[in-house]
Chain A
Amino acid sequence: MSTVTQTADEVILSKPEGRFKQFWKKFLKRKAAVVSLIFILLMIGVAVFAPIFLKYQVQAADYNNMLAGPSMKHFWGTDEFGRDVFTRLMVGTRLSLFSALISVVIGTVIGVILGVLAGYYGGIFDSIVMRCCDILFAFPDILLAIAIVAILGPGIINVIIAVAVFTVPSFARIMRSATLEAKEEPYVEVARSIGCSPRRVLWKHVFPETVQSLIVNFTMRIGTAILASSSLSFLGFGANVTEPDWGAMLSQGRNYLNSAPHMVICPGLLIFLTVLAFNLLGDGLRDTLDPKIK
């Protein structure tokens, strides 16, 4: 008995490696997605190491150079306190990118667990999870986040919670249908009939099959999360205006749109490019992982 399980496991476990190589070859052909991936990795690098190589301090005010346009000294100009906009944006990557990442990760983990369990076990649990998703879906996306922040109060933690909450239902739904499909596959049937425990069947055999749709969605959702959290910050419900958050900086810059347009152009452009990169990467991954959809 144990040898049979072993071989079945070996076959399944050895599959991903070959698959990964194939996937990587196909992925490299999609130039927009590759460029996006490089850009995203660069931004993550900036978020982690920014303070080491930056010339200015985030809060360092230079009152002789307030609202100055882009120059050799201040690459992307300065803000109303003479603080270097480039420095603040680079350090802000931490807050903006990581808060989006954290909220999507939280939302994904909860959504995946609920979706996989609902799809696998069905019954009352499935009905309850799906009805809750219906309820969350009945709120148009950003409205749900605004409603949650209105109740919890402004602040970056609450924004993370809000974005995580509206990420959950889409993952739960996708994973549920992916699980329902995988459940019917012959090898899952085999795993079950040779006596694998439900937990083992679920996480070793069913879950890996759903990973493709998971990855594509995860990537796309980060873009949405960055947009949502910067929108909330712009409305004044997100990060504190003193903190270097992209949305908050844009919101502040709005007051100086005429005299110092770079305070609006630069953060906005950075948000746009980052979201674009995640969307292009998501598109590329979808085309590579699922050639059916074009």
Chain B
Amino acid sequence: MGKYVVKRILSAIPLMLVISFLIFMFIHLIPGDPARLIAGMDATKQEVETIRRQLGLDKPLMAQYFIYMKGIFHGDLGYSIKNNAPVASVILPRFKPTIILTICSMIWATILGVFLGIIAAVRRGKPLDYLAMIIAISGISVPGFWLGLMLIQFFSVNLGWFPTAGLTMAKSYVLPSITMGCGIMAILARFTRSSMLENLRKDYVRTARAKGMSEPKVILKYAFRNSLIEVVTVAGLQIGGLLTGSVMTETVFSIPGLGRLLVDSINFRDYKVVQALLMFFSLEYIIINLIVDIVYGFLNPKVRYQ
């Protein structure tokens, strides 16, 4: 097991380095001179040069990359032009809303998705199966931002049950969580269904039934238990994408989280913040996938020995 974990971690490190380098390069490719931007349009050439030297922009690109990466490990992500503050201090307060939203949407989406999947598999070919699968495929196809706007219009404006925007109270998390979790609920429902169908065909299920075991027990204790490993893996893989999903949801509901910050920073051309956020999102994605991989290997010995 130890060998497997080390191997997986070692294979992820070069990927992370390449990604961080690519993002760094891409941000540098954007036309425009940051030194000139900070100095202002009427600054003299001398002043621009001084700022360029202060920012380290006169050094070769590779050197700049190493300085940046060294900075990351010291908590220095650069300076945000728009906020006139260090990038780290701009990003940190934005974590809380996004993470709470991610957790809330993950919880309801997993519970409902798995439930729908089991019901659909057990009642295969019956109206309940069709209903569950219609809900699931709609969940995959609906544009999240539109769903959010519709929920606001119906539940906040017409019925007045929830606030229309922002995060003023616990209730404000309800509609954004529904919007954000919808796709994952759908993916999990479809996946649980197919995994359950496969397991329900297995010999041990037939044996359990032949023994006279009650149907709920066969389904939950035998078939579902065996589907669980795969379902948990798929659910885990979705978390990485969820943080990014926050981009749309937070924009619709005006929530001051990481996703909204990314959109705002792109619009204001605050590239140091964009760079830091892109790095964070993609590294977070790799790390979560890595953790899921390791947990999966832990749960399923077959994978470990491949």
Q: Which residues on A are within 8 Å of B, measured CB to CB?
A: 134-135, 138-143, 146-147, 150-151, 223, 227, 230-231, 234-237, 250, 254, 257-258, 261, 264-265, 267-268, 271-272, 275-276, 279-280, 283, 293-294
Q: B45-53, B62-70, B142-150: which lies at the A interface?
A: B142-150
> A257, B152: Cβ atoms under 8 Å?
yes
Binding site for A on B (CB under 8 A): 15, 18-19, 22-23, 26-27, 29-30, 137-138, 140-146, 149-150, 152-153, 157, 194, 197, 240-241, 243-245, 247-248, 251, 262-263, 266-267, 274, 278, 281-282, 285-286
Main SS of chain A's interface residues? helix
Q: With the chains together, A50 CA to B286 CA distance in Å?
A: 45
- Do B143 and A268 touch (CB < 8 A)? yes
Report the minimal beta-carbon distance from A127 to chain B, rounded to whole angstroms: 13
State which of B15, B137, B143, B197 has its C-beta within 8 Å of the C-beta of A138: B15
B residues near A234, Cβ cutoff 8 Å: 143, 145, 248, 251
Contact B137 A265 (CB under 8 A): no
A265 CB contacts on chain B under 8 angstroms: 150
Most buried by B among A134, A143, A254: A143
- Across the interface, do A142 and B247 meet the contact criterion of CB distance under 8 Å? yes
Q: In angstroms, how far is the closest chain A Cβ from the Cβ of B128?
A: 17
Chain A residues contacting B245 (CB-CB under 8 Å) are 142
Q: Which of B15, B138, B149 contacts A268 (CB 8 A)?
A: B149
With a cutoff of 8 Å between Cβ atoms, the chain B residues found around residue A280 in the complex are 137
For B266, the chain A residues whose CB sits under 8 A away are: 146, 150, 237
**Quick one: given A227-B143, A279-B141, are A142 and B244 in contact (CB under 8 Å)?**
yes
In the assembled complex, the Cα of A52 lies from the Cα of B140 at a distance in Å of 34
Contacts of B150 on A, CB cut-off 8 Å? 264-265, 268
Question: Are A146's CB and B282's CB within 8 A?
Answer: no
Given known contacts A135-B15, A140-B282, is B146 in contact with A268 (CB within 8 Å)? Answer: yes
Closest-CB distance, B142 to chain A (whole angstroms): 5
A117 and B146 CA atoms in complex are apart in Å by 40
A143, B278: Cβ atoms under 8 Å? yes
A151's partner among B18, B26, B149, B282 (CB-CB below 8 A) is B26
Min Cβ gap B10→A in Å is 14
Complex Cα gap A275–B286 (Å): 28
A161 to B182, CA, bound (A): 28
How far is B19's CA from A223's CA once the two chains are assembled, in angstroms? 27
The answer on a CB contact under 8 Å between B143 and A134 is no
A204 to B285, CA, bound (A): 39
The minimal Cβ–Cβ distance linking B160 to chain A, given in whole angstroms, is: 13
- Candidate in B23, B146, B152 with the most chain A CB atoms within 10 angstroms: B146
A9 to B39, CA, bound (A): 70
In the complex, how many angstroms separate the beta carbon of A21 from the nearest chain B beta carbon? 26
Tell me if A276 and B138 are in contact (CB < 8 A).
yes
Looking at A138, A230, A294, the one whose CB has the most chain B CB atoms below 10 A away is: A138
Inter-subunit contact B140/A140 (CB<8 Å): no
Q: Is the CB of A140 within 8 A of B137?
A: no
Q: Pick from B27, B145, B267, B286: contact of A231, CB below 8 A.
A: B145
Considering only CB atoms, which chain B residue lies closest to A276 in the complex?
Answer: B141
Task: Verify A257–B149 contact, CB threshold 8 A.
Answer: yes
CA distance A226 to B150 in the complex (A): 19
| Among A140, A272, A294, contact of B141 (Cβ-Cβ < 8 Å) | A272
Whole-angstrom distance between the alpha carbons of A247 and B282 in the complex?
Answer: 26
From A138, A151, A237, A254, give the contact of B285 (CB < 8 A): A138
Contact between chains at A135 and B247 (CB < 8 Å): no
Q: Which of B23, B30, B194, B274 lies in contact with A294, CB distance below 8 A?
A: B194
Contact of A140 among B29, B145, B149, B281 (CB under 8 A): B281
- B140: A residues at CB distance < 8 A: 279
Task: Say whether, besides A135-B15, A235-B247, A254 and B149 are in contact (CB < 8 Å).
Answer: yes
